[in-house]
Structure 1
Amino acid sequence: MIIADNPQPSLVEFKELMKRIDIALNIDAMQHSAYYQKRTGLELEHDVMGAAIECAKNTKFEGSIHLISGHSFPDIVAAKIYGIEVKSSQSNNWTSIGNSILESTRVSDIERIFLTFGKLSSPVEFKSRPYEECLSGIAVTHYPRYQIDMSLAPGNTIFDKIGLSYDELRSMANPVEPVAKYYKSKLSRGESLWWAGTQSESVETVVPATVRLWRTLSAYEKDELEATIYSYFPETIVSSSQFKYDRATLWLATQKGIINANVRDSFSSGGRNIMQTIGGESIEMPAVFKKIQDHIELFVKIINDTSSVVLSENWGQPVDKNRIKQWINLVINEATDAEKRKKARGVLERIFENYLHI
């Protein structure tokens, strides 16, 4: 990291310094292209530092630029309130992966940051822009990180897309929430964000560290996960759609780290059982209704104890006071015909009759 300690210059003076740094780096790159093409990211920080020292002569920044090793953000701090982050690409483009949106390593009191980007392929070039003006989107490694595009047109930053300024987002306790909300709004059928759960969860708690196969789970784990899936995704119970298990499959993989290559067989097997309706009629129903009856306490616990944010997101509507009754209605609405809806309602109301008027 590089730090400049002189009395605070104005933002205009800092912008002028950045222009001079760009000019100096580009002139040097024209003369020493092979040198820059071999530079690593850390080595490039030293090059930018050298250019900054030279360009700071006869300015308020002169004599106060230092290099500090570590992982702080940004790499260069000027007058304690301005910063320069150094990034590069060995490819012939102006894009790269940036810093974490959490900015937990940000140097305190920094107000404005510029990004100095080195395109280290022939012809070697340098550009500097305000940091927030070249962040196009989000990529995910172990945590959501900004995508850098130095050629990004005005109005196309990730901040324009989510409707929040850079300063507003970085100051939030959970900056993942609005970003995840935006990307979820762009999902198509069969898509899911593996790195983001619900608004009440942090990305670190929802991204599984390991991946397991469904067949390796214990009977207890399978029962609990099946009950959770039926509770979260009502379409899995009576819908005839070929896509009825899509959301459940994605949820298992992205939120639980569990791969089930035959989810339809796992959830639809078991034949049919004779069940009682709320009116006392005996009718034949798919095995899933017997599973619900056998694990009624588990279903009640999941539906009533799950946060309203999670249920609302999965159910696609606000959560009512009587969650069991609302869930039954969601299940019934997935049925394809009136007779099927009538039977399903009758059986579910019989199973949960002690919970419908609470």
Structure 2
Amino acid sequence: MVHFRAEDFISRVIDRIESKIESGECTFIKNDFSKECETVFVENVNELKGEELVTVSSVQHELNSHQFPDVVINYVDGLTIGVEIKSSTSKGKSWIINGNSVLGSTSVKVDALYIVFFKMAPTGTIEIRMADYESCVSDVVVTHSPRYKIDLGISKEESFFNKSGITYSELNNSTSPIELITDYFKKEGKTAWWLGKSEDDTSPAIITSWSSLSASLINRIYGEAFVLFPELLNGPPHCKYNQLSKWLVSKYSVVDSSLRDKFSAGGKSDIEYCGYEIPQAPKVLKTFLEKKDYIILAFNELEGNELKSYWVEYTHIPNERKARQHIWKKLLLKNNIEPQHFEFILRVLEIDTP
């Protein structure tokens, strides 16, 4: 009954906001999107609160505070609903974002906890999703402390809490929440690691090997790696995998003693793409061709801040794929590259040749 009342009320708030967006009554500015999402949500909660059938007594919210959840809705009968507001203006299609700290030092106790996620597309179109908080925690990741990883694209069965058998309430009320999580990982035969990082960087809480990764994640890693580190194609042999190995550990908690082999082992072979042939090409070019679709996807979906971290010469990273590829081409040319290989790479990525 609690969850029905909560979901019904939050759905009505979202419906109201979506109607105002459609009519033009409600607009958002990209630079202030995060603050505006909170403000708009609370404004519409208060409007519904004034309706006769909604028995809400008060709404707790303080913009820019560290309170979790962002909004607490108190009913006259004592029921409390918590709503955490999340927002994103990234170009990617995923509904993944960092959640609150597992330690929950700023948590307000509520009877039901939900997340409302506002997403602004590059076109300015706004999408809004809501979910029960516990059902959309996909994992525990590490920033400066363990945090929940939120994914509104997963089913309840795929959630961390469903897989672990631990409930959100158990962790939230535990005096040793980290111990509960590490005990679960140990039972799964995995090792938890808690490395201090910046707030924006996250990695899974367990160290894993390349061989245990899913095929889809491996393809994603290939795509992102070739985009972030163009030197994989033509960098100095003694150091071109250094950045890649550090990135794999920090982002995906993946270690591999034969990482170079994943990209360039196997000697040379003839390759061909759309009539353009290279006899006895390096294996890394063959790998590059095989992962073409995932590389293009990574150009579209990698966050600008992550690209900026590795493309250090560039302080502004555009969202458009073609503009990103133009920067990438310049980075590729920082190291010597055979003209035939360079033209092949540009053809594969459909980048205008010089």
**TM-score range with shorter-chain normalisation?**
0.3 to 0.5
Max Rg structure: 1
Given the two structures, how large is their TM-score scaled by the length of structure 1? 0.46
Given the two structures, how large is their TM-score scaled by the length of structure 2? 0.47
